[in-house]
Copies of this chain bind each other. A is one copy, B any other.
Amino acid sequence: MQSKIMLSNRHAHLTAEHITALFGAPDALTASRDLGGNLFVSAESLELRGPKGSIGNVRVLFPARNYTQVEIFRADAHVLGVKAPLRESGDLRDAAELTLVGPAGSVTVPCGIIAWRHLHIDAEEAAKNGLENGEIIQIKCGNERALIFDEVLVRYAPNGTNVIHLDFEEGNAAWVNNGDYAEIIKK
């Protein structure tokens, strides 16, 4: 099976309380891009600060969630001077403490993770391909920097979804672009 690749830049998910603290009001964020599925990239941005450095121009994916989570690159953890764990979205065990700075204020919270690469696929399409929620698969990307990603998590997603989520460091290591296709390999 082939699936489409979506590459993630560093980004933040915020609670309504933290949107208010950083941007002044729970509805302060405006969309610069519509990602589909009622998910938007903010026009506004925040800055991340850690003990060793800072990274500006970080966008928020909204609407609000019931947890604040910042997904950074492994290189960012080095710049910020924090240890960020590799985690599935929503799993904030041992998340790195970061200070988020917005135009209206700042908050310091354990929120920094590095995203665990995964395949988002609807249950029916998964079943057709012999895949199950929680399974670990491989993804083969073929090009100048061909490689096989191991330890890729399968996660059920709404109907019609069939997307591989990688971050830009993973995408660059494989020399792939947003919208490229890669081959799913059952282990």
A76's nearest neighbour on chain B, judged by CB, is: B172
Q: How far is the CA of A148 from the CA of B142 in the complex (A)?
A: 12
6 contacts between A and B (CB under 8 A): A86-B144, A146-B150, A147-B148, A147-B150, A169-B169, A173-B174
* A67 at the B interface (CB under 8 A): no
0/1 string, A157-187, CB within 8 A of B gives 1: 0000000000011101111000000000000
A binding-site residues for B, Cβ under 8 Å: 73-75, 86, 117, 144-151, 168-170, 172-175
- Assess the A175–B86 pair: CB atoms within 8 A: yes
The majority secondary structure among interface residues of chain A is mixed
Since A146-B151, A147-B149, A172-B173 are in contact, a sample of 6 more A-B pairs with Cβ atoms closer than 8 Å, ordered by chain A residue number, is: A74-B172, A117-B145, A147-B147, A147-B148, A149-B173, A170-B173
The oligomer's copy count stands at 2
Q: Please name all residues of chain B whose beta carbon is closer than 8 Å to the beta carbon of A148 when the two chains form the complex.
A: 147-148, 150
Interface centre among A168, A172, A175 (most CB of B within 10 A): A172
> Contacts of A175 on B, CB cut-off 8 Å?
74, 86
CA distance A86 to B175 in the complex (A): 9
From residue A88, how far is it (CB to closest CB) to chain B in Å?
12
Across the interface, name the chain B residue whose C-beta is closest to A73. Answer: B172
- Nearest first, the 7 A-B pairs at minimum CB distance are A173-B173, A74-B172, A146-B150, A148-B148, A170-B173, A169-B172, A86-B144
Q: A172-B169, A173-B170, A174-B173 are in contact. Are A145 and B73 (CB under 8 A)?
A: no
Which of B73, B74, B75, B145 is within 8 Å of A151, CB to CB? Answer: B145
A146 partner residues in chain B, CB cutoff 8 A:
150-151
Tell me the smallest distance from the CB of A51 to a CB of chain B, in Å.
19
Complex: A149 Cα to B173 Cα, angstroms: 9
Bound complex: CA of A161 vs CA of B168, how far in Å? Answer: 31
